[in-house]
Structure 1
Amino acid sequence: MELKRRPSLSNGDRISELPDALLLQILSLLPTTKDAVATSVLSKRWRFLCKMMPSLRFCYERTNDLERFSDNVCTFLLSHQAPVLQSLHLEMNFGRGSTRDIGVLLGVAFGLHVRELDLQVYSGGEPYRFPTSLYKCGTLETLKLGPNVLVDVPFPVCLKALTTLRLYKVIVKDERSVVNLLSGCSSLENLEVITCTHSDVKTFTIAVPSLQRLTLITSIDEYELAYVINVPSLKYLYLRGLAEGDSCLIENTPELLEANITDMPVLDNSPNLQTLKLITLWFRKGDWSPPKYVAECLLNRLETFVWENYEGEIEDEREVAQYILRNASCLETATFSRTDIHPEKRLERLKELESVVRASNSCQLVFK
């Protein structure tokens, strides 16, 4: 009887037989580029694939040798052979030491025409000053600057391809830096400004004609700040966390379709608003008074209204809710939510809202 021999698996590299595109996708799932490079010991083909990765991620920890880290990253970037460097994520943790200059790494990446840059700097010492020479990249489409990055822009930038900008806990030097940065992003569509530090900024002006989506989340601190928003193409707005002394002037948003805000300064300047979401953080007596004229969006556009954390204990809060129900003639759903309210209070609030004569006969009222 002749026995059939099973094929030997030890002599075969099944993974390496996969298409390059699939192998690159596998490598991209690894936590860092360093982990991907470690796979080069498998075969020469894997060594070549590492140089073709379109997205790179490097992380520096303060326990490592910074000079050696910089040299290794620069060497890898200079040997990179992908047609396009799609994205570079650079995370630097300096502890309480000096951030030192990592501009060489960024300069090499910009020389490779990187399309997306995500720079995160964690340091208890001096902030890292983002190099002004890199504010003139013609291929950069997404820029994300994280904690402890100093945004100091003494002159207008030229980032014509930039469509997404995220500023997360950065340090803004002055008002001129804000204007110079945003005015040079002629194709910007998505802007996120989240809890930035700006002790020398009194007016934070966002004037970007091309902007379509704006997220503005502020932190409550000792600085009073005025936000001026002039974005005629804006369609989606998320605004949260204004401190008691802060103010927000929304000058021109005729294309706005959806707003998620903690107050209502947006109605008069948003005739096309279809969805409005309010989040109550605090509400004092005298905060609100009925406007002289009903906003156009209430009369002709608003279809969905959501009020999170609605309590209805303060008279002004109830009056705002009733005002919207009485004037929103196209309203389809009005949802009020409060998770920690007693069931009896919930029923009482629902009856109050149901008693309001609604401008829209088809409006469905929900209290949850």
Structure 2
Amino acid sequence: MEKQRLSELPDELVLKILSSLPMFEETLATRLISKRWKGPWKLAPNAIFDDDDKKRKSFETFMSFVYGSLLSNDARILERLEFKLSQNYAASDISFWVQIAVNRSVRELRIDLFGKTLELPSCLSTCRTLKEVTLHELCIKVVPPWFRLPSLKTLHLLSVTFSGGNSVSSLLETCPVLECLVVEQTKDDNNVMISNIDVPTLRNLSIRSLSKGKRKKSTYVEGSNGFVIKAPSLTDLNFEDTLSNFVMFESMPEVIKANIQVICDQSDHFIGSLTSIQHLSLCSLTSKTPYPACTVFSSLKHLELCTCSAGWANLLACILNAAPALRSLKLKSKHSANYSDPMNLWKEPTDVPDFLSKHLEILEWRQYEGTEQERNVAEYILSNASSLKMATFSTRCRNKNHRMLRKLKPMRRVSKTCQLVFD
């Protein structure tokens, strides 16, 4: 009789009843829903539930599809589960769905809420199979002190905001074995400033804190660091900050590859902690040396320097003197220059660095414009790099016979085997 009365209720009410069932009643819920909806409920190893899908014509139809799929008797192991939820759903619904995924040994979970608030499902604290979580366009108001992600290795926070005294660091404290962290925010996000990151197990870190407007240079203020990154096990760093959110890197002796883009004058210890760096891509709107004067990057073999700032040439000269093993150098303007400092003319070093005369093999210069300063730098490198094998130049117009490129041909090349290429 109970099943008959349940079958007479509206779909929306039936779904609410099922979502409120205790988790140990999942078998009962499966039987009930299999009687109610006869659709082919078979959950694939990778399941995506999108309520904006044209095939789901109503709220009730979408809900029935989610419940029917997740409660299917055929679905045992769930590799990846993704929700794209533009409509409003009760926290109990989302928690129920996630609980079923946890029961089915889910490994990857992604939740998109289009700006709405997420109540962190408590069942995740006991999930030992979950390795990767992606949260997109949502707000987290509460990170309970008991909440944990015990086996999580990878966390993506994409346009995720925090309130109620919580922050990125509040969530990181719940991840005891985290190895990869990706944080992306824009100036339009509320509470955009990133807090301290202190994760001893972290190996890969990517932070993109970007404004949607033009890059504007800002001045570093001593003692006004927005946040500190403390990750002694880090090996790969991608850091892009155009919001003047000052940063301080603590000791990172394991980092071998880094892409760093900042707009503010940094302290003289900014990249000094990257003592084992091998690949460095750097964009800074300052001509100041962002590391102590005695620093030596003995392992640095590949350097890419952005030429969008007024003082890029002198910054290059400083780094060249600190990188005795450099083998390849790439110069490229990644951004439209928007700074007020006057151009700092190239000051040719009095002594030729050892790497330039012995080790540099590859020079690649993109967006070469043929200014007086660029010609002076090019001439200095070509006339001193005795081991240079290839020097490639290209302009924005992509004209291989452009007049500014033709002026490079007569420049003295100390390396007899250097091939000059116009790309």
Q: Does residue 323 in structure 1 map to residue 318 in structure 2?
A: yes
Q: Does residue 55 in structure 1 map to residue 59 in structure 2?
A: no
Check conservation: 2:272, 2:290, Cα contact below 8 A: no
Paired residue for 1:178, among 168, 172, 176? 168
Residue aligned with 2:253, SS: coil
Aligned to 2:376: 351
Q: Does residue 77 in structure 1 map to residue 102 in structure 2?
A: no
Taking a change above 3 Å as real, the CA distance of residues 201 and 122 of structure 1, as seen in their structure-2 partners, is closer
Residue aligned with 1:76, SS: helix
Check conservation: 2:154, 2:180, Cα contact below 8 A: yes
Aligned to 2:235: 235
Taking a change above 3 Å as real, the CA distance of residues 229 and 353 of structure 1, as seen in their structure-2 partners, is farther
**Cα deviations across residues 27-81 of structure 1 (Å, max 9, x unaligned)?**
xxxxxxxxxxxxxxxxxxx95xx73621111110298432442233122111153
Taking a change above 3 Å as real, the CA distance of residues 342 and 249 of structure 1, as seen in their structure-2 partners, is closer
Aligned to 2:305: 307
Q: Does residue 117 in structure 1 map to residue 109 in structure 2?
A: yes
Amino acid at match of 2:239: L
Residue aligned with 2:69, SS: helix
Paired residue for 1:150, among 140, 143, 156? 140
Aligned-residue CA RMSD (Å): 3.4
Check conservation: 2:76, 2:104, Cα contact below 8 A: no
Aligned to 1:213: 204
For 1:204 and 1:359, how far apart are their aligned partners in 2? Answer: 45
Check conservation: 1:337, 1:367, Cα contact below 8 A: no
Residue aligned with 2:67, SS: helix
Check conservation: 2:271, 2:290, Cα contact below 8 A: no
Aligned to 1:267: 271
Residue aligned with 1:262, SS: strand
Paired residue for 1:337, among 325, 332, 340? 332
**Cα deviations across residues 321-362 of structure 1 (Å, max 9, x unaligned)?**
1111122101001110238957432x7414325426999965
For 1:215 and 1:359, how far apart are their aligned partners in 2? Answer: 37
| CA displacement at 1:302 relative to structure 2 | 0.5
Task: Indicate the percent of aligned positions where both proteins have the same amino acid.
Answer: 23
Per the normalisation by structure 1, the TM-score is: 0.71
For 1:292 and 1:67, how far apart are their aligned partners in 2? Answer: 63
Aligned to 1:89: 82
Bigger shift: 51-60 or 262-271?
262-271
Aligned residues: 303
| CA displacement at 1:221 relative to structure 2 | 8.6
Taking a change above 3 Å as real, the CA distance of residues 354 and 328 of structure 1, as seen in their structure-2 partners, is farther
For 1:170 and 1:288, how far apart are their aligned partners in 2? Answer: 34
For 1:356 and 1:342, how far apart are their aligned partners in 2? Answer: 14
Per the normalisation by structure 2, the TM-score is: 0.63
Check conservation: 1:331, 1:360, Cα contact below 8 A: no
Unpaired runs of at least 5, structure 1 = 1-45
For 1:86 and 1:131, how far apart are their aligned partners in 2? Answer: 20
**Cα deviations across residues 241-298 of structure 1 (Å, max 9, x unaligned)?**
3313x21111121100000011476531121110100235xx25xx6247543324x2
Unpaired runs of at least 5, structure 2 = 1-38, 214-223, 337-366, 395-423
Check conservation: 2:302, 2:327, Cα contact below 8 A: yes
For 2:290 and 2:231, how far apart are their aligned partners in 1? Answer: 26
Aligned to 2:120: 131
Taking a change above 3 Å as real, the CA distance of residues 343 and 221 of structure 1, as seen in their structure-2 partners, is closer
Amino acid at match of 1:211: L
Check conservation: 2:272, 2:292, Cα contact below 8 A: no
Q: Does residue 141 in structure 1 map to residue 155 in structure 2?
A: no
Taking a change above 3 Å as real, the CA distance of residues 291 and 110 of structure 1, as seen in their structure-2 partners, is closer
Taking a change above 3 Å as real, the CA distance of residues 291 and 178 of structure 1, as seen in their structure-2 partners, is closer
Taking a change above 3 Å as real, the CA distance of residues 105 and 359 of structure 1, as seen in their structure-2 partners, is farther
Aligned to 2:252: 253
Taking a change above 3 Å as real, the CA distance of residues 203 and 91 of structure 1, as seen in their structure-2 partners, is closer
For 1:353 and 1:100, how far apart are their aligned partners in 2? Answer: 63
| CA displacement at 1:190 relative to structure 2 | 1.1
Check conservation: 2:368, 2:374, Cα contact below 8 A: no
